[in-house]
A and B are shown apart, each in its own frame.
Chain A
Amino acid sequence: MGDSWIAREISLSPRIVFPNKILPYLLVAPQLAITLVFFYWPAGQALYQSMLRQDPFGLRTRFVWFANFRKVLADPAYLNSIHVTVVFSLATAIVAMGVALLLAVMVEKAVRGKGLYRTLLIWPYAVAPAIAGMLWLFLFNPSIGSLAYLLRSLGIAWDPLLNGTHAMILLVSAAAWKQISYNFLFFVAGLQAVPKTLIEAAAMDGAGETKRFWTIVFPLLAPTTFFLLVVNTVYALFDTFGIVHAVTGGGPGKTTETLVYKVYNDGFVNLILGDSAAQSVILMAIVIALTAIQFRYVERKVHYG
Chain B
Amino acid sequence: MKFFGFAAGVAATLTLLSTTSAFAVTQISWWHAMTGANAEVVDKISKDFNASQSDYELVPVFKGTYPETLNAGIAAFRAGQAPDILQVFDVGTGVMMAAEGAIKPVAEVMTGAGMTFDKSQYLPGIVGYYSKPDGTMLSFPYNSSSPILYYNKDIFQKAGLDVNNPPKTWNEVWEAAKKIKASGAASCGYTSTWLTWIHLENFAAWNDVPWATQQNGLAGGDVELKINAPIFVNHFQALTDLAKDGTFKYGGRTSEAKQIFLAGECGIFTESSGGLGDIVKSGMNYGIGQLPYDTDAKGAPQNTTPGGASLWVFGNKSDEQYKGVATFFAYLSKTDVQEYLHQKSGYLPVTLAAYEATKKSGFYDKNPGRETPILQMTGKAPTDNSKGVRLPNLPQVRDIQNEEFEKMLAGQQTAQQALDNAVTRGNAAIEEALEN
Please list the residues of chain A having a beta carbon within 8 angstroms of any beta carbon in chain B: 53-60, 62, 141, 143-144, 161-164, 249, 251-254, 265, 268-272
Pair B67/A57 contact, Cβ less than 8 Å? no
Q: Is the CB of A249 within 8 A of B396?
A: no
Given contacts A143-B259, A143-B265, A161-B252, contact A53 B436 (CB under 8 A): yes
Complex CA distance for A269 and B396, rounded to whole angstroms: 7
Nearest B residue to A270 by beta-carbon distance? B396
Once A143-B265, A251-B406, A252-B410 are accepted as A-B contacts, the answer to whether A270 and B101 lie under 8 Å apart by CB is no
**Interface of B, helix, strand, loop or mixed by DSSP:** helix
Known: A56-B74, A144-B263, A268-B67. A254 touches B252 (CB 8 A): no
* A268 and B71 contact, Cβ closer than 8 Å, known pairs A58-B78, A144-B259, A251-B402: yes
Do A269 and B67 have beta carbons less than 8 Å apart? Answer: yes
Measured in the bound complex, the distance between the Cα atoms of B166 and A29 in whole Å is 72
Residues of A within 8 A of B406 (CB): 161-162, 251-253
| Overall SS of chain A's interface | loop
Is there an interface contact between A270 and B436, defined as CB atoms closer than 8 Å? no
Determine the residue in chain B with the shortest Cβ distance to A271: B95
> A-B pairs with CB below 8 Å: how many?
73
Instruction: List 9 tightest A-B contacts by C-beta distance, closest first.
Output: A252-B406, A270-B396, A162-B410, A57-B99, A57-B102, A253-B403, A59-B101, A58-B78, A253-B407
- Give the nearest-CB partner of B82 in chain A: A57
A56-B99, A270-B393, A272-B396 given; name 15 further pairs at CB < 8 Å: A59-B102, A62-B436, A144-B259, A144-B263, A163-B410, A251-B403, A252-B407, A253-B407, A254-B403, A268-B67, A268-B71, A270-B396, A270-B399, A271-B395, A272-B393
Nearest-neighbour CB distance to chain B for A169, whole angstroms, equals 15
**B410 (CB) vs chain A CBs: closest residue:** A162
The verdict on B387 contacting chain A, using a C-beta distance below 8 Å, is no
A-B residue pairs in contact (CB < 8 Å), sample of 15? A56-B99, A57-B101, A58-B78, A141-B259, A161-B251, A162-B250, A162-B406, A249-B253, A252-B403, A252-B410, A253-B406, A265-B399, A268-B71, A270-B395, A271-B95
Q: Return the chain B residue nearest A62 by Cβ.
A: B436
Do B250 and A161 touch (CB < 8 A)?
yes
- Choice from A54, A141, A143, A251 contacting B436 with Cβ under 8 Å: A54
The verdict on B409 contacting chain A, using a C-beta distance below 8 Å, is yes
Please, how many angstroms separate the alpha-carbon atoms of A265 and B398 in the complex? 13
- CB distance A57 to B399 under 8 Å? no
Are B403's CB and A271's CB within 8 A?
no
Of A59, A163, A268, which one neighbours B99 at CB under 8 angstroms? A59
Q: How many whole Å from A262's CB to the nearest CB in chain B?
A: 11
* Residues of the B chain whose Cβ atoms lie less than 8 Å from the Cβ of A270: 393, 395-396, 399
Q: B300 at the A/B interface (Cβ < 8 Å)?
A: no
Question: Which residues in A have their C-beta under 8 angstroms from that of B253?
Answer: 249, 251
B98 contacts A by Cβ under 8 Å: yes
Is B74 a contact partner of A271 (Cβ separation < 8 A)? yes
Taking CB atoms and an 8 Å cut-off, the chain B residues in 58-82 that contact chain A are 67, 71, 74, 77-78
A55 touches which of B265, B404, B409, B436 (Cβ 8 Å): B436
Chain A's nearest CB lies how many Å from the CB of B137? 20
How near does chain B come to A156, taking the closest CB pair, in angstroms?
Answer: 14
Report whether B250 and A57 are in contact in the complex, using a CB–CB cutoff of 8 Å: no
Write out the residue numbers on chain A whose beta carbons fall within 8 Å of the beta carbon of B99.
55-57, 59
How distant is B431 from chain A, measured CB to nearest CB, in Å? 13
CB distance from A298 to the nearest CB of B (A): 38
CA A258 – CA B251 in complex, angstroms?
22
Is B260 close to A, CB under 8 A? yes
Residues in B whose Cβ lies below 8 Å from that of A53: 435-436
Contact B410 A164 (CB under 8 A): yes
B260 touches A60 (CB 8 A): no
Beta-carbon nearest neighbor of B264 in chain A: A143
Complex: A57 Cα to B314 Cα, angstroms = 12
Bound complex: CA A153 to CA B268 (Å): 25
**Complex Cα–Cα for A71 and B115 (A):** 49
* Residues in B whose Cβ lies below 8 Å from that of A144: 259, 263
Contact, CB under 8 Å: A162 / B393: no
Chain B residues within 8 Å of A162, by CB: 250, 406, 409-410
A53 to B436, CA, bound (A): 6
Answer whether A56 and B95 are a contact pair too, CB < 8 Å, given A143-B265, A144-B259.
Answer: yes
Write out the residue numbers on chain B whose beta carbons fall within 8 Å of the beta carbon of A268. Answer: 67, 71
Closest to A52 in B: B436
Q: Chain A residues near B396 (CB, 8 Å)?
A: 269-272
